[in-house]
Amino acid sequence: MERDGIEEIGFLKYQGDDVPNGVIDAASAGNALIGLDEAVRFFNERQSPDLAKVDYQIPVKIQEGSWVALILAGIGTLSLAFAFGYAKKAGEKLAENDVGKKTSAEILKKSMSAIQSLVKLIKHTGRNRDWNTESIDWKDNNNIIGIQNDRGEYVYIPYEHFKWISEAPRRILFKLTDVVTENRRLTIGVKDESEFYEVSVSEVEKQLFTGSDLELIDEEFLFPELEHGKTVRLEGKLTRGNESSNSIGLEYQGHILNCIPEEGSIVRYKPALFLRCVVEGTITRLSKRRNVAERRPMIIVKRVTPLEHDSQNNLF
């Protein structure tokens, strides 16, 4: 569907008896949207590493019925892109950084398609990593790769997607699939021409994405110098604000660090959204597991000092 310069290029949907009339608990909805944001950003950056250094948001619109988050992208002129509320500013941030001849819509669509390819690959092989690359089958001038499962059957995905997937952290779809229950199924849709193509994850398949063997595995132990309890003063850009979780995101050396205020609400930091700033606070790496530090540090924020001025009104 296209309207007012907006194209719906994909969706994230949860449906079933645990989603009556599109109602879902806030914690599950929040985790799903954060997981979607993280996965899309990862594949965006595979298309253009420069996007890791750019402030942009990924607008979604929640639709009634089953719980559906529609992924939006601007079409036509920049003045029309995301022509309502917060989505306008967020969409322009991404559209300003179109990669070569690719539009922001094409970038987002390809990232959503890569997420689908990863789901297909994991479901087909029953593996989250260590796929069989000894008996691959090529198609379309080596642009399509076929990966074999233990029964000798092949699943075919774009080779470009497979390269990106091979670089992805094992937990990249953890938050999206962890929301799945016996009565809550996940469906991921991507628009191709005039129709949407879908892949789904059921409660039985969930273990492939959220198994206990993945709990301590991540892409890397980020910033080991940022030790638990250390007082820091980091310079970066605030990329998001979430009043529901009372958290903000700090883009720091190509990664997004979650930040929570030492006290009070994040509303006070509203003027610093999308701006370069200095964040002062204390590092925490507390984990739910005893004697295991979180691989990604979080900042308990004491002070945020903007280093530049934004004449526009920022919105959370």
Domain ranges of the chain: 2-214, 231-306
Helix (H) or strand (E) holding 151: none
Cβ atoms of 111 and 36 within 8 Å: the answer is no
Q: What pLDDT is stored for residue 48 in this prediction?
A: 79
Give the pLDDT score at 212: 53
CA 245 to chain centroid:
16
pLDDT at residue 96, rounded to an integer: 54
| pLDDT tens readout for residues 188-210 | 999 887 788 999 999 999 989 98
Average pLDDT for runs of 10 along the chain of length 316: 63 91 89 92 84 73 82 48 40 50 79 96 90 90 94 95 89 92 94 87 91 50 86 89 81 85 89 89 72 75 87 42
pLDDT tens track for 163-188 = 999 888 888 999 999 999 999 999 99
Please tell me what DSSP assigns to residue 205.
T
The pLDDT score that the predictor gives to residue 95 is: 54
Global pTM value: 0.62
C-beta separation of 147 from 132 below 8 A: yes
Class of domain 231-306 (CATH, top level): mainly beta
Under 8 Å between Cβ of 283 and 235: no
The answer to whether 237 and 250 have CB atoms below 8 angstroms apart is: yes
pLDDT at 312: 45
User: In whole angstroms, what is the distance from residue 272 CA to residue 270 CA?
Assistant: 5
CA distances from 135 to 145, 146, 149, 220 (A): 11, 9, 10, 29
The tokens 């309207």 sit on which residue?
3
- The contacts of residue 219 (CB under 8 Å, 6+ apart) are 168, 169, 170
Convert the pLDDT of each residue in 13-38 to its tens digit.
999 998 888 889 898 999 999 999 99
